[in-house]
Amino acid sequence: MKKSEIVGIYELLDAVEAVVKSADLTQRKALAQTIDGYADDFPDEYYWAVGPQAPMFLHHLLTSIDIACRPEAPSKARAANRLADRKPEGNA
């Protein structure tokens, strides 16, 4: 099956926003309080994580979302593409 549209970061962010907004108000408040608590307890990490150079935070966030949106499947994230485990080619 061929996809007709490219799914980029903005489509992903829109989908995450829609899911959070569709959650119960109590759950959304709990999430907001958890985010505030994290920012208060770990301000350096939080402000780095919401800054422009946050690859590890993004990794954990997307992994958590991926697992949470698939309740019918076992808690298993997609396999990572690990370049470090590949054998070198040639004389490297």
Q: Which two tokens stand for residue 57?
A: 């935070």
| Domain edges within the chain | 12-68
Taking only the tens place, the pLDDT of each residue in 30-78 is 988 998 999 899 999 888 888 877 787 777 887 788 777 776 765 555 5
Q: How many CB atoms lie within 10 A of CB 47?
A: 11
Burial class (CB in 10 A: 0-12, 13-18, 19+), 62: middle
The pTM of the whole model exceeds 0.75 = no
Are the C-beta atoms of residues 35 and 27 closer than 8 Å to each other? no
Of 54, 30, 34, nearest to 44 (Cα)? Answer: 54
